[in-house]
Structure 1
């Protein structure tokens, strides 16, 4: 069974990048070495892997990546810090 990873990288400019891959270690190497010059992270290296989750269902992984990309920085930080109880209260409609 294939495994998919949704991940969050912290960039050198203190921004977050969220992505999906089926080979996390290879993808991190690609970011660190600057393999993709047109990528968001290229000029923001070095990067740090700060969160990842494993999925066996690719559709669920894609949906999760899309969901996280819409989140506020504060909500992403709660996820990264394993503060799952804070996530419902940090939705954009509640966070003003």
Structure 2
């Protein structure tokens, strides 16, 4: 079973796009090509801002929806401190789900790989 990632991308109009995938590189490439998400067809993705990892797709979809319901101010908080999103999610949902936050070094390496593919 593959792990799933919930991500927030910065788009060219300074907006955020939230989605899920089990392959971060392939999914970003698809966004760049205008495939899959209507929003990133209109507003090209620039880079990943934050990524979280969970064990299954169903949970990833729940967290994606949770993030999409939040204001840009709250999403910015999640980006600035990626460990805050799991904390807020678990508190608001009254759960204790393991949500792994991707560290900034790994996220920077993924963004560098994507940048070098251009």
TM range (shorter): 0.7 to 0.9
* Post-superposition CA distance 1:1-47 (Å, at most 9, x none): 311010111111111111011111100011122234x6111121142
Unaligned runs of at least 5 residues, structure 1: 92-96
Whether contact under 8 Å (1:31, 1:47) holds in the other structure is no
Structure that is richer in helix per residue: 2
Is this contact kept in 2: 1:9–1:18, CA < 8 A?
A: yes
Aligned CA-pair RMSD: 2.3
| CA 1:46–1:62: 2 relative to 1, 3 Å | closer
Misfit runs of 4+, over 2 Å: 33-36
Q: Name whichever of 54-63 and 76-85 sits farther off.
A: 76-85
Residues 9 and 46 from structure 1, CA distance in 2 versus in 1: closer, same or farther, beyond 3 angstroms?
closer
| Aligned residue in 1 for 2:46 | 47
Task: For 2:64 and 2:39, locate their aligned partners in 1 and report how far apart those are by CA, in whole Å.
Answer: 16
Q: What residue is the counterpart of 2:67 in the other structure?
A: 68
What TM-score, normalized by structure 2, do the two folds share?
0.64
Contact 2:10 2:47 in 1 (8 A): yes
Number of residue-to-residue matches in the alignment: 87
In 2, Cα distance between equivalents of 1:73 and 1:81? 12
